[in-house]
C-alpha cells in the first residue's frame, strides 16, 4: 500500500548527539564556512550547508564533501569570493556551480535551482531560484533535503529528513513521480543509497520507480555507470541490486542481471543462478582487505551471465552450461564498454569471468607443475582477485564438498607460493629471447621468430627452468621438425631466412607474443 504524499511538516530537531555531530562538522570547516557565510550576508545573500554533508554528519558517517547553496547567481558568487578564495574553478558554472579552495578546504557553491529533463534530451534544463525551501524541495530525497544556514548554523529541515534518518527510510520531498520526472537518475540513486546506507525505500517511491523505469534510458551512460559503481561498492549491494531488479530498472541498465533468474526445474537439479551470483558477490566482499574492490565485485556479480545463453537440458534431467565462462566474458566486455567503464576495468573484469572456472577444469587430482605455471601465467596480475573469486564461487550447501574444494584450493595456493619462490612465476618467459632465437636458428625477424618464442614459452611452462643450453637444443629440434632446419646441427644454409621471413613486412622479435 502506497504511503500518502507528505508535504512540508513541522520541523523536527536533532537529538543532543546529532547536534554535537553537526557542530563537529561545522567546526571542522570553520572559520572558513562562517567567514564565507558572513561575506554572503554582507552582500545581501543567503548561504547554507546542504545535502549529503548534513546527512552524513547526522549519521556520523565520514565525509569530505562541502556542498553549499545560495540565492546569489553564479556571476555574483564569483564577485563575492574574488580576492578571498585561494583558487577558483568554473567547470560546472553552466549548472550554477562554482568551485573554490580556501586553505585546506575545497567547497562547491551552487545557486538555488530547479532542473528537469526534456523527454528528447539527455541534458537537464536548469532554472535558478531564490528560496532555500524550494531548493531543498527539488532534491532527490528528504534525507538529502536538510541544511544548516551560515553563519548562524540554523538547522533547516522542511521535509522531515531527520525523521526519515531515524526510520532509515528513503522518501522524496515531493511526489516521487515529479522528482523522477525532473531527473530519472534519481531512481538509480534510490538503489545506490539503499546500498550505501542500508535504508529501505518507501513503497510509493518503489511504485514510481517501477512505473517510470524506462525513463532511465534518457540518462547518459556515464552518469548511470557512476551510480552503478557506487551502488556495487556500497556496504549493502544486495539491497540496491535487488531493488533494481524488482523495479525493472535493471532491464535498462544491467539487463544481464535479471536474466539470471532462470526458471528452476521441479526437481531443483540446478541452483538459482541469480541468488548464487548475489551470494558470490557477498562472499567476494568478505575477502576484501583494503576497502571496496570494484573489479572484483563486478566480476563476482557477472561471472555467470553466460549461463542463460548456454543452458542445455541433457538426457536424464541434467542441465549443462558448457563454455558459459567464455560467452560470459564476451557479454561482460560488451556491457561494461556500453556503460563507458575504463578499458582496464573492462579488460580485467572480462578476464576474471573467463578464468573463473579454470580451477575446476584441472579436476580433483594432483596439479602438475606445468598446470600451476599456466594458471599463474594466464591470471597474471589478476591472480589475487582470481583466488578470491574462485573461493567465493563455492556456494554449495554440501559441507563435505565445500570442505574438499577449500582444501584443494589451499593446496593450489601453496603450490603457487612454492613455485613462485623457486621460479619467479610472476615473470615467466622463455630462457631465450627473440634476438637469441634469430642467432641460434640463423633467421631474420619475422613470423617464425614469434612461433619459436611461443614454443619456448610452452616449454618453459611445461618443464620449468632447464637452462639456456638445453632450451637451445630443444629449439633446434623443434625447428628441424617444423622443416625450418635439417636434422642435426644448423648449417650455413640455415642463415638464409625462409621465404616467409623474407616476405614479412613487420619485424617481430617475439617479445610481444
* CATH code: domain of residue 213: 1.10.110.30
Amino acid 161: pLDDT: 93
Beta bridge partners of 70: 47, 111
With beta carbons less than 8 A apart as the criterion, state whether 441 and 452 touch. Answer: yes
Residues 363 and 446 in one domain: no
Residues 19 and 161 in one domain: yes
Residues 16 and 162 in one domain: yes
Amino acid 407: pLDDT: 83
Half-sphere exposure of 412 (CA within 13 A, CB side): 28
Amino acid 246: pLDDT: 97
Residues 161 and 176 in one domain: no
3-state secondary structure of 430: coil
**Residues 207, 389: Cα–Cα separation, whole Å:** 35
Distance of CA 408 to the CA centre of its chain: 30
Residues 214 and 338 in one domain: no
> Is residue 262, in this structure, part of any structural domain at all?
no
> Is residue 298, in this structure, part of any structural domain at all?
yes
User: What is the pTM assigned to this prediction?
Assistant: 0.77
Amino acid 350: pLDDT: 97
Dmax over CA atoms of the chain, in Å, equals 98
Start-to-end Cα distance in the chain:
62
Cell of 283: 562472499
Cell of 507: 619485424
Interhelix angle 237-246/203-211, rounded to 10 degrees, is 50
Q: Please tell me the total count of domains within the chain.
A: 4
Residues 310 and 404 in one domain: yes
Residues 394 and 454 in one domain: no
Look up the CATH number of the domain holding residue 149. 3.30.460.10
Residues 154 and 173 in one domain: no
With beta carbons less than 8 A apart as the criterion, state whether 190 and 170 touch. Answer: yes
Domain stops at, among 426, 447, 480: 426
> Is residue 40, in this structure, part of any structural domain at all?
yes
Domain stops at, among 167, 183, 209: 167
With beta carbons less than 8 A apart as the criterion, state whether 372 and 342 touch. Answer: no
> Is residue 508, in this structure, part of any structural domain at all?
no
DSSP conformation class of 299: H
- The boundaries of the domain holding residue 229 are 168-254
Cβ-in-10-Å burial (0-12, 13-18, 19+) of 361 comes to: exposed
> Is residue 55, in this structure, part of any structural domain at all?
yes
Give rounded-to-5 percent helix, strand, coil for the chain. Answer: 55, 10, 35
> Is residue 182, in this structure, part of any structural domain at all?
yes
Amino acid 28: pLDDT: 66
Residues 222 and 317 in one domain: no
Give every CB contact of residue 137 below 8 A, 6+ residues apart in sequence. Answer: 145, 158, 159, 173, 174
Count Cβ neighbours within 10 Å for each residue of 181-207 and write b for 16 or more, e otherwise: bbbbbbbbbbbbbbbbbebebbebbbb
Residues 137 and 109 in one domain: yes
Amino acid 500: pLDDT: 41
> Is residue 284, in this structure, part of any structural domain at all?
no
> Is residue 378, in this structure, part of any structural domain at all?
yes
| Other CB atoms within 10 Å distance of the CB of residue 488 | 9
Residues 498 and 392 in one domain: no
Q: pLDDT tens track of the chain, all 513 residues?
A: 333 444 455 566 777 777 776 776 666 676 788 899 999 999 999 999 998 888 988 888 876 678 999 999 999 999 999 999 999 998 888 888 999 998 888 899 999 986 555 666 656 666 788 899 999 998 999 999 999 999 888 899 999 999 999 999 999 999 999 999 989 999 999 999 999 999 999 999 999 999 999 999 999 999 999 999 999 999 999 999 999 999 999 999 999 999 998 755 444 444 589 999 999 999 999 999 999 999 999 999 999 999 998 888 888 778 878 889 999 999 999 999 999 999 999 999 999 999 998 887 665 556 777 788 888 888 888 999 999 999 999 888 778 888 888 888 888 888 888 776 655 555 567 778 888 888 888 888 888 888 887 788 777 777 777 788 888 888 888 888 887 765 444 444 444 444 444 343 333 443 333
Residues 411 and 460 in one domain: no
Domain stops at, among 167, 182, 214: 167
Amino acid at each position: 500500500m502506497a504511503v500518502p504524499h507528505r508535504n512540508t511538516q513541522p520541523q523536527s530537531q536533532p537529538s543532543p548527539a546529532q547536534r554535537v555531530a553537526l557542530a563537529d562538522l561545522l567546526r571542522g570547516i570553520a572559520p572558513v564556512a562562517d567567514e564565507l557565510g558572513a561575506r554572503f550576508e554582507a552582500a545581501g545573500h543567503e548561504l547554507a550547508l546542504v545535502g549529503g554533508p548534513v546527512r552524513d554528519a547526522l549519521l556520523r558517517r565520514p565525509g569530505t564533501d562541502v556542498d553549499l547553496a545560495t540565492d546569489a547567481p553564479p556571476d555574483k558568487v564569483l564577485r563575492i569570493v574574488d580576492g578571498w578564495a585561494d583558487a577558483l574553478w568554473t567547470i560546472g558554472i553552466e549548472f550554477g556551480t562554482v568551485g573554490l579552495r580556501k586553505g585546506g578546504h575545497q567547497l562547491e557553491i551552487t545557486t538555488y535551482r530547479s532542473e528537469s529533463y526534456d523527454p528528447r534530451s539527455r541534458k537537464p534544463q536548469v532554472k535558478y531560484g531564490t528560496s532555500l525551501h524550494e531548493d531543498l524541495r527539488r532534491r532527490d530525497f528528504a534525507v538529502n533535503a536538510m541544511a544548516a544556514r551560515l553563519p548562524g548554523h540554523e538547522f533547516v529541515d522542511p521535509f522531515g529528513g531527520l525523521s526519515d534518518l531515524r526510520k532509515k527510510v528513503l522518501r522524496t520531498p515531493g511526489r516521487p513521480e515529479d522528482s523522477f520526472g525532473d531527473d530519472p537518475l534519481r531512481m538509480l540513486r534510490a538503489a545506490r543509497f539503499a546500498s550505501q546506507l542500508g535504508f529501505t525505500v518507501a513503497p510509493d517511491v518503489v511504485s514510481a520507480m517501477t512505473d517510470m523505469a524506462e525513463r532511465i534510458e534518457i540518462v547518459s551512460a556515464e552518469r548511470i555507470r557512476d551510480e552503478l559503481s557506487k551502488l556495487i561498492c556500497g556496504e549493502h549491494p544486495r539491497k540496491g541490486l535487488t531493488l533494481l531488479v524488482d523495479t525493472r530498472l535493471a532491464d535498462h541498465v544491467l539487463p544481464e542481471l535479471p536474466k539470471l533468474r532462470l526458471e528452476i526445474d521441479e526437481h531443483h537439479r540446478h541452483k538459482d543462478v541469480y541468488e548464487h551470483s548475489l551470494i558470490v558477490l557477498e562472499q567476494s566482499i568478505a575477502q576484501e582487505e583494503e576497502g571496496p574492490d570494484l573489479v572484483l565485485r563486478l566480476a563476482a556479480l557477472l561471472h555467470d551471465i553466460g549461463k542463460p545463453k548456454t543452458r542445455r537440458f541433457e538426457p536424464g534431467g541434467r542441465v549443462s552450461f558448457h563454455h558459459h565462462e567464455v560467452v560470459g566474458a564476451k557479454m561482460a566486455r560488451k556491457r561494461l564498454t556500453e556503460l563507458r567503464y575504463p578499458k582496464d576495468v573492462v579488460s580485467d573484469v572480462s578476464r576474471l569471468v573467463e578464468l573463473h572456472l579454470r580451477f575446476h577444469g584441472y579436476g580433483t587430482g594432483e596439479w602438475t607443475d606445468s598446470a600451476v605455471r599456466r594458471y599463474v601465467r594466464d591470471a597474471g596480475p589478476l591472480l589475487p582477485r582470481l583466488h578470491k573469486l574462485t573461493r567465493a564461487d563455492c556456494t554449495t550447501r554440501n559441507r563435505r564438498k565445500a570442505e574438499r574444494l577449500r582444501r584443494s584450493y589451499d593446496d593450489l595456493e601453496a603450490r603457487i607460493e612454492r613455485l613462485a619462490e623457486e621460479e619467479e612465476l610472476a615473470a615467466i618467459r622463455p630462457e631465450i629471447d627473440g634476438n637469441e632465437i634469430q642467432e641460434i636458428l640463423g633467421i631474420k625477424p619475422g613470423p617464425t621468430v614469434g612461433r619459436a618464442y611461443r614454443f619456448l614459452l610452452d616449454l618453459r611452462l611445461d618443464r620449468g627452468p632447464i637452462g639456456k643450453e638445453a632450451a637451445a637444443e630443444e629449439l633446434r629440434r623443434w625447428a628441424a621438425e617444423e622443416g625450418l632446419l635439417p636434422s642435426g646441427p644448423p648449417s650455413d644454409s640455415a642463415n638464409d631466412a625462409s621465404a616467409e621471413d623474407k616476405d614479412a613486412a613487420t619485424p617481430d622479435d617475439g617479445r610481444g607474443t
